[in-house]
Structure 1
C-alpha cells in the first residue's frame, strides 16, 4: 500500500505494535511463571557476580563460554551447594523438633507461658489488648494437633522427598539461565536499554540503579543475614539451647526485617532464661545479641551496601514484608528492588519536569 495510506496512519501502527508487545510480553510472563523464581534468582546472581565474571573472563583470554562456565562452577561450589546443605540440615532439625513435640518432650505452651509471665506488665497489657494473652493455650492445642496428626504432618511438611523433582528442575533452570546471563549479560542489558521507550541517559540510569539495588540487597542483606544467623546459632549452641542450627536459620530470616531483626528470636529466649533463673546465661545472651549480633549490621552494611543505595528504614521494612507476603522467600529481594525502582522512576519524572520547566522559563 502507499506509505501515506490514511487507513494506516503512523500513530495507529505505533499503538498497535505497542499493544502487541504488551500482550505478547504478558503471555510470555504467564508461560515462564512456574519458573519465575528460578529465572529471577538467575538474574540476581548474574548481577551480583558480574565483577567475578569479568575477572575470570580476563584470565581465560576473553573466551566467553569458558569464562561463564568457570564462573558458574565457582558460584555452584562456593554459594549454592553450601546453602543447599545448610537448608537440608535445618529441615532435619525441624523434623527433630516436631518429633519432640509429638513425644511431649517439648512443651511450647509452657515455654510461652513462662515468657509471658516474666514479661513486663506493659507488655502483657498490650498482648491482652490484642487477644494474645491465651497464646500458650493455643500453642498447646497446636502441640496436640501435631501429636495427633503425627506421621502425616511430618511427611508432608518436613520431608523434602516429594519436592525433589521440582527443586532439581528449578535448580537446573536457574543454572542454565545463569550461564547465558553470565556470558551475554552485557549484550542483553544494551538491548534492554535500547528497547526501553526512554531517553538513553534515563534508560541507563534506570538499569544501573536496578543492578546497584540488586547487588546491595543480595550481597548486603543476604550476607548480613547469614552472619547474624551464624552468630546467633553459635550463641544458642554455646548456651546449650536446643536446635541451634534451626534457630540460627530463623534469626537469619528475621534479620532481614529492619529495626528488630534477630532480636525477635533471642529476645524471648532471654526473658525465658530470666524466668527460669538462668541469670548469667541471660546476661551473656543479651551482651552477645546487642554488642555482636546487633552491631554486625552497623559495621557491615556501609561496606557491603554503600550509603548511596540505602533507602529509608521504614521503606525497607514495608517493602520487605510486602515482598515476602506477595512472593514468598523471593520477596526479600523483589520487595526492596521494586521499592527502589519506584523511587528511581519518580526521581526521573521529577528531573524531567524540572528540566522542562527550566526550558519553558
Structure 2
C-alpha cells in the first residue's frame, strides 16, 4: 500500500514533464512559423556581419569611430560599391530581353543554312542537320513545333530572373541588418560563446564558436566574395566590349564562381565570338587577354582568402551551392555553401572529440 502514493507521485511527475515538453515544443513551432519568413534574410545578415566584423574592428581602432558609426560607414560604402554593378546588370538584362522580344516580333531574324558537315556528327548529326535545315528554309513551321516546348522553359527562366531581382533586394536588406548586428557585435560575440558553451560544455563551447566564425568568414570571403569580384571584373570587360547580354553572362559568371566551376567556360566562348565577329584587332586581343586573366583571378585570390585554418573540400561547397539554390533560390545559392561548410566542420569536430578520434585507423581488406 505504501507504493501506491509513490506511483501516483511518479505518474504526476511524468505527466508534468510531458506537459512541459509539449508546451515547449508548441512554443518552438509557433516561434519558427513566425520567424520563418525572415530566416533567410537574418541568416544572410549574420553571415555578412561576421564577414565584415574584422574590418569593423579595424575602423574603430584606426579612425576612432564608435561601433554604430563604423557599422554605418561599412554599410554605406558597400552599398555605393555594389550599386554600379547591380545597376549595369539590371540594365543589361532589361536591354537583352527587350531586344530579343523586338527581334522576335519583327520577324527580322533568320537562321543561316545548315552546314553539310553536321550530317557526319555521330549520334545527333542527321537529326540536327534536318532540324537546322528546316529552320533555315521554313522558320515559321519550326517555331510552331518548338514554341510549345520552349514555353515552359521560358517561364522557368523568367521566374529565375525575377528571383535574381528579389535576391538583390534581399541582399540590400540583409546588408542593412548586418550593420545593426555589427553595431552590437561585442555582445553578440559573447552571446554566441554562451550558447555554444551551454550546448557543448565549458571546455569545447568557445572552440566551437571560434570554429563556426572562422568557417563562415573563410567561405564567405573565399567563395562568395571571389565569385562576386570575378563577376565585376568579367562583367566590366563585357560591357565595355559591347557583348550582347553582358549582364546575363556576368550573372552566369557569379553562379559558376559560387559553384566552384571554372569561369573560363563563359569567357572563352565570348572571346571566340569577339574574334569571329570583329577579327584579330588590337581591341579583340586586349579583350581576350583581360577576359582570360579575369576568369583565372580566383587562382590568385583563393589562396589569400580561402582556407585560413579551415579546410573545407570543394565538393562540399558545390553541393551547398546547388542544394541551396534548389531549396532557397538565389538567396540559398549564397547561404547554402556557408551553412553546409559550418555543418561539415562541426561534424568532424565532433568526430575528433571522440576518444582516439584523431587517430587514423587503416584497415586492409584482403
* TM-based fold match above 0.5: yes
Q: Counterpart of 2:322?
A: 321
1:190 aligns with 2:193: yes
Contact 1:202 1:348 in 2 (8 A): no
Report the equivalent of 1:32. Answer: 35
Tell me what 1:103 maps to.
102
16 and 247 in structure 1: CA distance in 2 versus 1, 3 angstrom threshold:
same
Give the whole-Å Cα distance in 1 for the aligned partners of 2:319 and 2:284: 31
Do the aligned partners of residues 42 and 181 (structure 1) sit closer, same or farther apart at CA in structure 2, a change above 3 Å counting? Answer: farther
Which of 209, 214, 222 does residue 207 from structure 1 map onto?
Answer: 209
CA contact (8 A) 2:197 2:206 kept: no
Within a 5 Å distance, the mapping from 1:107-256 to structure 2 comes to: 141=147, 170=173, 174=177, 177-178=180-181, 181-182=184-185, 184-196=187-199, 198-256=200-258
C-alpha spacing 1:69/1:207, structure 2 compared with 1 (3 Å): same
In 1, the alpha carbon distance for the partners of 2:348 and 2:329 equals 29
Give the structure 1 partner of residue 362 of structure 2: none
Show the counterpart of 2:364: none
Matches within 5 A, 1:82-97: 82-97=81-96
Aligned to 1:301: 302
The structure with the largest alpha-carbon Rg is 2
Return the alpha-carbon distance in structure 2 between the equivalents of residues 89 and 252 of structure 1: 14
The aligned residue for residue 75 of structure 1 is 74
Alignment RMSD: 4.9
**1 CA distance for matches of 2:204 and 2:131?**
55
Instruction: Decide whether the 8 Å contact of 1:214 with 1:333 is kept in 2.
Output: no
- Where in structure 1 are there 5+ consecutive unaligned residues? none
| 1:353 corresponding residue in structure 2 | 354
TM-score of the superposed pair, with normalisation by structure 1? 0.70
TM-score w.r.t. length of structure 2: 0.69
Contact 1:39 1:173 in 2 (8 A): no
- 2:7 is equivalent to residue 6 of structure 1: no
Separation (CA, whole Å) in 1 of partners of 2:357 and 2:89: 56
- How many residues are aligned here? 330
Instruction: Return 5+ residue gaps in structure 2 as ranges.
Output: 1-5, 136-141, 360-366
CA offsets, 1:235-288, max 9 Å, x none? 32453423545533432333222132x223223324434654735677655543
